[in-house]
Amino acid sequence: MNSDDPNQIPPTDNNQQQTPDSSSDSGQPLTDLVDALQSVDPSSPEAPANATSIEDNNGGRIELDEDSPKVIKK
């Protein structure tokens, strides 16, 4: 802890980071994510478009502009 920072909040029981209880976690969400990522075909016709945009579920695409905080919909 840096004592020179007047805005720093000392840790208390109320604001300490909670760690998940791994004994009750089946790991299934992680397994599902890995399965989904392994099913991606980087050579599909949509792959180049997916690098900079996502489908909008209405037949169009939403362009993702990394230089701007706003999303541009085409």
Q: Is residue 69 over pLDDT 70?
A: no
Chain segment 17-45, per-residue pLDDT in tens = 565 655 567 889 999 999 999 998 999 99
- Taking the C-alpha atoms of residue 53 and residue 44, their distance in angstroms, rounded to an integer, is 15
Of the candidates 37, 35, 68, 73, which has an alpha carbon nearest to the alpha carbon of residue 55?
73
pTM value?
0.40
Mean pLDDT for the chain overall = 76
**CA distances in angstroms from 68 to 4, 28, 50, 63, 71, listed in the order given:** 35, 35, 18, 11, 8
Q: Which residues pair with 61 in a beta bridge?
A: 55
